Structure 1
Amino acid sequence: MVGTIQTEPILIAEDNPQEVVLLKMALRKNGIEGPIHIVPNGEEVIKYLRADSPYNDRKTYPFPATIFLDLKMPLRDGFGVLEWLKKHPDCAVIPTIVMTCSSEPDDIKRAYRLGANAYMVKPTAIEEFTGMMRLTIDYWRICAKPEILENCVT
């Protein structure tokens, strides 16, 4: 394990409990500390960004500096979230990384057309997943990003 890294708030949209466990393990192995919130679907992503109930306390649910987004989720999938982000300029500036099991060329193209900043296919081995998360966190930590907002306006 590496030393502790204090990160800006991260929002993760993932509906698969096994993937959530894998993701948390990868973050822990990388020493990631900081606000990390996991929501199970696209509707919850939008509620979180808008600070709608139950996410209206920004001390408990800080506005994210980065979003990790699965594509295949119930209620509203990742594509629906990307479409929503594109229509809300205050939120469209949040670095949004698609992290999915799909390597379908049409999914990749569609995600980038809708404004995804990166598209990663999730590895199944924890070592590979840990390495991928380390590179991703390091990359976005050194990138210039817009000021963190409080919430997105409708």
Structure 2
Amino acid sequence: MLLIVFALILGIVAGLRAMTAPAAVSWAAKLGLLQVSGTPLAFMGYHYTAYILTVLAIGELMNDKLPATPSRKVPPQFIARVVSGGLVGATIGAAAGSLVIGLLAGAVGAVLGTLGGSAVRGKLAATFGKDLPAALIEDVVAVGVAAITVSRF
């Protein structure tokens, strides 16, 4: 049942940064911290999956700072985060034998992370008078929480 809590937490991370959580979970699966072989989400533990998702996560971290980047709350961005959280949650759930429950926990976490992250970042940006420091703090939180959570598997 603890893995479902991890699915919720990493879903929240997906709400902050859509690709950070899948990259972290893929590395956990690749390194054997999360047993997904023999499940429908075994591909998350494949050698190249972790590398590809890491490149995408780094790209997202850079793209997030660009002025033309749309709000995370517009439908395409919001949906991508919920799908990402669902994937992460389903992967964790599959390892625990509860794929559907994990998927739901991850998707709910992504909604919470998307809306909550947007609100907190907006307040931080107002406090700093610009968005970049708030965005960098959000990056540190997303990467840090993801790393700490997968290290507990």
Same-fold call, TM cutoff 0.5: no
How high is the TM-score relative to the length of structure 2?
A: 0.30
- Highest relative contact order (Cα 8 Å, sep 6+), 1 or 2? 2
**More helix by percentage:** 2
